[in-house]
């Protein structure tokens, strides 16, 4: 794929392990689908106001996507999926539709899930994933926790607690001087938070897995 065709997207797309005619057909269909997705995203980005474009990442990058498909292991590894502007374009749900139409029986792996919005969309469209491990940061230290030591509803609990965290933040925003409000998030990916024996801890990242065939 000629990924430099879309200057507003930093993308890495890799497919390995496919040998049969069926595999090659899936690869072609996936590449066609993701090319159309990037075309539509680029067109939507082009219609943004200049001030919103200026708020994007380095060199005007509006989205960062890194995905690896291992056809031998039947895994889809989503390393990165970030959107750096307040663009009404559901990048994950569009990508998920393409993945499910070509790799329905595969496992989706997100090795370093950080964003609250992405976590919510995974749960909404696929259900609750299994946490393999989670890296947390408190006021005192950082720690890596195995998913096996967490309660079964830990992922849902993190999303619920994070929602409450930002609801409280919204209340605080009402008391802020207008000149300070730009410091708060404006719709981009937000950190998640965990409440446990250490009190509130920020989720620096967590590794999760869920079948693409799953239903919420």
Q: What is the H or E stretch that residue 40 is in?
A: helix 21-46
DSSP 162: H
Give the whole-angstrom CA distance, residue 79 versus residue 131.
15
Judgement on whether residues 175 and 198 belong to the same structural domain of the protein: yes
What's the whole-model pTM score?
Answer: 0.87
Give the whole-angstrom CA distance, residue 98 versus residue 125.
13
pLDDT in tens, 58-102: 677 889 999 999 999 999 999 999 888 778 888 999 999 999 999
Tokens in use for 9?
Answer: 């997207």
Q: Output the CA–CA distances (angstroms, integers) from residue 28 to 20, 23, 89, 212, in the order listed.
A: 13, 9, 24, 19
Q: Which of 75, 105, 135 is the last residue in one of the domains?
A: 105
Strand locations in 25-116 (E): 63-70, 75-83, 107-113
pLDDT in tens, 158-213: 999 999 998 887 654 554 444 444 434 444 568 999 998 788 999 999 999 999 99
Q: Which of 105, 134, 160 is the last residue in one of the domains?
A: 105
Give the whole-angstrom CA distance, residue 24 versus residue 28.
6
Judgement on whether residues 12 and 99 belong to the same structural domain of the protein: yes
Q: Which of 38, 70, 105 is the last residue in one of the domains?
A: 105
pLDDT of 142: 94
CA 89, 205, 102, 19 torsion-angle sign? positive
Residues 113, 126, 62, 205: what is their CA dihedral angle, to the nearest 10 degrees?
Answer: -10
Give the residue numbers spanning the domain of 202: 113-216
Judgement on whether residues 91 and 144 belong to the same structural domain of the protein: no
Judgement on whether residues 125 and 195 belong to the same structural domain of the protein: yes
């Amino acid at each position: 794929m000629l990924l430099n065709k879309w200057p507003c997207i930093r993308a890495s797309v890799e497919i390995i392990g496919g040998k049969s005619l069926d595999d090659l057909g899936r690869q072609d269909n996936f590449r066609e689908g993701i090319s159309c997705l990037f075309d539509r995203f680029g067109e939507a980005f082009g219609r943004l106001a200049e001030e919103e474009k200026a708020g994007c990442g380095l060199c005007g990058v509006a989205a960062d996507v890194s995905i690896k498909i291992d056809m031998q292991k039947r895994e889809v590894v989503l390393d990165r999926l970030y959107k750096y502007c307040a663009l009404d374009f559901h990048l994950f749900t569009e990508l998920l539709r393409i993945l499910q139409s070509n790799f329905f029986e595969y496992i989706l792996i997100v090795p370093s899930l950080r964003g609250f919005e992405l976590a919510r969309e995974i749960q909404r469209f696929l259900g609750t994933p299994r946490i393999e491990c989670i890296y947390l940061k408190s006021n005192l230290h950082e720690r890596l926790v195995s998913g096996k030591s967490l309660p079964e509803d830990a992922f849902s609990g993190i999303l619920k607690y994070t929602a409450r965290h930002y609801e409280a933040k919204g209340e605080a925003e009402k008391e802020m001087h207008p000149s300070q409000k730009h410091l708060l998030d404006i719709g981009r990916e937000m950190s998640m938070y965990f409440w446990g024996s250490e009190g509130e801890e920020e989720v620096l990242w967590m590794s999760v897995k869920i079948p693409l065939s799953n239903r919420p």
